[in-house]
Amino acid sequence: MHEYSIVSALIEQCEDLAKQHQANAIRRVEVKIGILSGVEPALLSQAFETFKLDGICANATFNMHIQPLLLMCNQCGIESEQTARTVICPHCQSNDTRIMDGEDMMLMQLEMDTE
C-alpha cells in the first residue's frame, strides 16, 4: 500500500514546514487529491491517522479535497470537468484530450500553533 509511504513523506514535509515557521504543533492538514493520482482517499486517511500519532501532527485533522479531472478537448476545444476516470470528451466523444488537472496530490494548507 503506497499510501503509507505518501503519508510518511507528507508528515516529513509538515515537520519541515513547522520548523521553518517555529511551530510546535500542526492543527490541520489539507491536501488536494486528483482522481487520477493513483491515491485511494480512504487508505490515505487511515494511514495519516496511524502515522500522525508520534509527531507534530498528533492532534491534527486531515482534510482531503478530491479534484475532478479537468480535460481540454483537442477536437472541439471545450474544457470539461469529469468526476469519472475517463479521458473521453463528454461533448464530442473524442479521446483526443489533454488532462489539465486531476492527476496530482498536493499539500494545500497547514494550520500551525506557534505558542
Known binding-site residues for Ni(2+) equal 2
* Binding residue ranges for Zn(2+): 73, 76, 89, 92
List the binding residues: 2, 73, 76, 89, 92
State the helix-helix crossing angle for 41-51 and 3-20, rounded to 10 degrees. 50
- The Cα–Cα gap between 88 and 102 comes to 14
Distance CA 115, CA 15 (A): 16
Provide the grid cell at 68.
475532478
